[in-house]
Amino acid sequence: MTDNKTQPPLDAEIAKELDGVPEELLDNGETDGNGMEDELARLREQLEASRQETLYARAEMQNVRRRLEKDIVDARNYAATGFARDILSVADNLARALSAIPADQREDEKVKVIVTGIEATNREIEKAFTNNGITRIASLGLPLDPNQHQAMIEVPSADAEPGTVVQELQAGYMIKDRLLRPAMVAVAKKPD
Question: What kind of fold does domain 135-192 have according to CATH?
Answer: Nucleotide Exchange Factor Grpe; Chain A, domain 2 (2.30.22)
pLDDT per residue rounded down to tens, the chain (192 residues): 445 555 555 566 656 665 666 665 555 545 456 788 888 889 999 999 999 999 999 999 999 999 999 999 988 888 888 889 999 999 999 999 999 999 888 888 889 899 999 999 999 999 999 998 999 999 999 999 999 999 999 999 988 899 999 999 999 999 988 999 999 999 999 988
Q: Is pTM, for the whole model, over 0.95?
A: no
CA angle, residues 24, 30, 35, in degrees to nearest 5: 55
CA-nearest of 118, 97, 87 to 180 is 87
Residue-range domain boundaries for the chain: 10-79, 80-132, 135-192
Tell me how far CA of residue 77 lies from CA of 67, 165, 175, in angstroms.
15, 30, 8
143: phi then psi, degrees, rounded to nearest 5: -65, 150
CA-nearest of 93, 92, 112 to 102 is 112
